Structure 1
Amino acid sequence: MRVHRLDRITPQVRLVELRDPDGRGLPPAEPGAHIDLHLPDGAVRSYSLCGDPADRQAYRIAVLNVPGGRGSGFVHGELALGADLTISPPRNNFHFDDAARYLFVAGGIGITPLLPMIRRAVNKGADWVLHYCVRSAAAAPFLDDLRALPHGHVDLHAADEGQRLAVDELMASTPVDVPIYCCGPQRLMEAVAAAARPDQDVRFEWFTPRPEPARQDFADNSFDVVCARSGITVTVPAGTSILDALYAAGVEIDSSCEQGVCGTCETTVLEGEPDHRDSVLSDAERAAGKTMMLCVSRARSTRLVLDV
């Protein structure tokens, strides 16, 4: 992929537009999807696509300049117009479903996966409300674009003006038939998760591992993994991830973040009970136990059979 556009849209956010150098169409990307950016030093960083999902000619990402960040340091300090980059195909752990109306809650750069969702809602004629939490209006990416969209409105909560979001009140007043999509700093998402009622449909995009409750029922004991396609059985010792144990046995698995947030290593479970520790699967998906993230999750049973 080639950098076709490189703009500074706020003092600390750069917009990067990527296109195929030969002008070929790109794989489709649904709202909420992200791509992995392969950095020159070998690191891989995930960024949400913030462009129009209907545009098959370009992928757009917006990158916040984070002090000490490897990905942001490269994008803000080294990346040049016309540069060639290696990326992954789009993946989506943050699915956007049909509804008559929506509630979106964004914090800062967390607006990036929500912007294509809001555009899709507009195209469907659905009603929407965005609560946008930022340090200041000047630091809010895409604010003017959002305010220009029909069928909804933006409530800006700028910290420098003392306009903080009352999360508990918002969640208590949101009807059960309104899906809620949230992305932003971990503190904001934890507050939304804590205030959500059990009957509310709340979905998150976590870029750092979400907090897990203290575990007292299942320790990090060893267990066996049967690789159904590879035909081998691997013992996963305590303190070793399934991913690392399979690598050591010569079983190659695609992976990226190795923190349970990107979904790259999601694998089908054929038998056994996973001990889910990722930040990707919903509670319902965890309960179903049909897939698991091999980088962080373990086993509640003494044996797992995986489709690898």
Structure 2
Amino acid sequence: MKTRKVILTCAITGSIHTPTMSPYLPLTPEQIAREAIAAAKAGAAILHLHARDPVDGRPSFDPAVFRQFIPQIHAECDAVINITTGGSVAMTLEQRTAAALDISPEMASCNMGSMNFGFFPIADKIKEWKYEWERKHVESSRDAIFRNTFGDIEQLFQRVAVPCGTRFEFECYDVGHLYTLKHFVDRGFVKNPFIQFVLGILGGIGADVENLVFMKSVADKLFGDSYQWSVLGAGRHQMPLATQAAMMGGNVRVGLEDSLHLGNGRIATSNAEQVEQIKNMLAGLGMELATPAEARAMLDLKGKDRLNLM
């Protein structure tokens, strides 16, 4: 029997976690590049990338900061580069799209709806912060709305997907987001979408296996067999939901953006450590990780040589 290939995305740093929360969270361009390359060598086919201010680690949208690590990643591994257009809830759409427009990556994230996006409960667990900006960043999610209107999404297609040839990772945090994606499929904006089911964010659908099964059944109803899918389980749900997704025929996402731990309260010391863990789990289930070349073929990507790194 042919071994099933699973596309593994590794989200290297994100914009939720802060320096106080883990000494292993990559913050500087050098750290992000090192972590991304190591994750790729461990088996990640896709690298989902955010940038951080090199001075204090706060989320950054500056294309110049992205250019301090993406060329090195591009040169030293074959992984697909996926640049966020979600950024952080505090950024404008112009800011969130700046790096993708500048670099023209093979992939970019596309969030499929406006929502409450809360991570403020984390603040209750921390007494002392390394940097002054961190507490405000976390607490502000209590009143923030993560804006992704129909007009915003149209702009992403018109300004990023079409002119850049960039394919989206459609991040769907609830069932309604799948119907929004179907709206754009029906309008001809996208064919054969790559959907990332996001479970466990406060404000989105809960991280339960029943919810994953429901999301998958709705996607099957809306898109038939004309889509690929993956799962992002936030926090402690990362590895259990990734394993469940693989058993259901899906792809998986891990990384310090999504969880700082390996499970059982053990803090992850690197992104590559999480990649190795899920790779071993998949091997035990008789599955293998797709290579970057196989992921490009499965997702119909434009190719590594078509990024704008001049």
TM superposition score normalised by structure 1 = 0.31
Task: Return the index of the structure with the highest Cα Rg.
Answer: 1
Q: TM-score of the superposition, structure 2-length normalised?
A: 0.30
Q: Which has the higher strand share?
A: 1
The structure showing larger relative contact order (alpha-carbon pairs under 8 Å, at least 6 residues apart) is 2
